[in-house]
Amino acid sequence: MKIKVLFFVAFLVFSNCKIFGQKEEYQNPILAGFYPDPSICRVDSNYYLVNSTFAYFPGVPIFQSTDLVHWKQIGNILDRPSQLNLSGREVWHGIFAPTIRYNNGIYYMITTFVYGGGNFVVTAKNPAGPWSEPVFLPDVQGIDPSLFFDNDGKAYIIHNGEAPDNKPLYDGHRAIWLLDFDPVALKTIGPRKLLINGGTDISQNPVWIEGPHIFKKDEYYYLIAAEGGTGFNHSEVVFRSENVYGPYENYSANPILTQKNLDNSRPFPVTNTGHADFVLTQNNEWWAVFLGCRPYQENIYNTGRETFMAPVTWTADNWPVINVGFDVVRYSYPVPNLVKNKKEDFPKNGNFEITDNFDTDQIAKYWIFLRTPLKEWYKVSDGKLKIQLQPEVLSGDQNPAAFLRRQQHLSCIFETSMEFKPKTSGELAGLTAFMNEKHFYVLAKTLIDGKPAIALYKSNSEDKTGMELISSSVLNDNLATIYLKVEINGAVCSFMYSTKSNEWLVLKDKIDATYLSTEKAGGFTGVMLGAYATSQGIPSSNEASYDWIRYTGSDQIYFK
């Protein structure tokens, strides 16, 4: 695999070097693209971070760092079909809001499998795995469970749940609950206790209190949570108590993080901020990781909810506040007071170009699948990615032959060299820009009226194939090798092909990319780009072979 990171002089001055006496800064988001709902913990001098994955497999990537800035993906917590079978799940179902914690030599990850059994916990002695089979927790209702280990050896689960007596006073009325937890038997103990009813001020009808975490500092237990929903009104709030069971006092200056009151026309906005988790470094600095979005117009974005980081400051009366001194979430902050570690496996942010030549037997960890592969339809050998065409399609609810990675920039290019000869009109192979079952594009080689052609499809739930042909070009011959390219620039995307390297022909120029946005497609994920091969419902022995796949991303904010 070849990795080429593109640096710009202005960018270096802006965020990457100590120049002219300025303190070195890191850049946000620390994980660009669809990496939502971050949770973080520290073990000695190592930091571990996890994210939601919904209906993608493997589930819950886990990253390691020593400086909070440079992250290496050391594995995926749910990497076996026995742990996570996503068959039949819609894209926005699956794994919600994992929390990672450590206690007495054991790592714990607790999360919600939406429409798949509810809340469960897994454990490991090594954060890189293997992780245990899930242990489901039937007494933990709702979503977004978190673990808290107290200094006295006791453990607790905190989670979002229904309103008291299951009688909501208004739409969006939820509550935060706590249960005692046995971390050895992995069972809850006794009845649950109500910690927060509704949110910061129930007389104001606060909505969607969720994503709770508890930590202890000095004499107080602090409970942080998201409020306002995951859209434009998203925020992070804090409460505290001298007893883990409460009562919890609402911070009068809540929220401690939000962007909802800012001018929508501000340059390079970060929106929808919230769902935070805190970590204390070994040098007594507090930091928050949280999700945010980077819209390219209004509140329209394709890159999903991303992981940002900002410092936490404590007020004189001992309340934590994120991003003190600034209204807007910044794209750079001074680096944490930690030993720098630049040993990354692949770029997570900034402007970069990365080409996978498939020159190792192991696939790179940035590749993921739509739902759980229950059979082997791909292999990497002889410097090629070989995909056997599958009957499953992107518009279905099973595992199609789609080899995917995240769109991490507002502007990017995704291209490949592919060898494929379709045998029937139903066979096609190429590239996809995929948001969900009802919002995707496919650029592929296929047969049209018995002739080889390059075709562009758009999802269409009213068509029996789940998509409609919107443009095509007949090829002069059925040469095996074809080059395909997808270019995305904010609200528009273009689709190109070539029979010779770098001699591109435009199949369709500047079509609507907002069609793939969260605003229009819905859900909680982000756009995926990848290789896709299907026989559209009919078994096939045909195969598509990809020589290389290249992703190039460049955002103006990174070379401002």
Which residues are catalytically annotated? 37, 210
Residue 514, SS3?
A: helix
Task: Using alpha carbons, select from 413, 401, 482 the residue that is nearest to residue 446.
Answer: 482
Triad 314, 309, 211: Cα angle to 5°: 80
Q: Supply the Cα-derived Rg of the chain in whole angstroms.
A: 24
Q: Which is it for strands 2-5 and 352-356: parallel, antiparallel or unpaired?
A: antiparallel
Q: Which is it for strands 481-489 and 492-498: parallel, antiparallel or unpaired?
A: antiparallel
b vs e for 137-149, b when ≥16 Cβ sit within 10 Å of the residue's Cβ? beebbbbbbbbbb
Cβ-based neighbours of 114, under 8 Å, separated by 6 or more: 93, 94, 95, 96, 143
- What is the tally of helices (H) and strands (E) in the chain? 2, 40
Residue 510: its H or E element: strand 505-512
Structure tokens at 211: 């994503």
Are 157 and 118 in contact, with CB atoms under 8 Å apart? no
Q: Compute the distance between CA of residue 354 and CA of residue 551 in angstroms, rounded to an integer.
A: 5
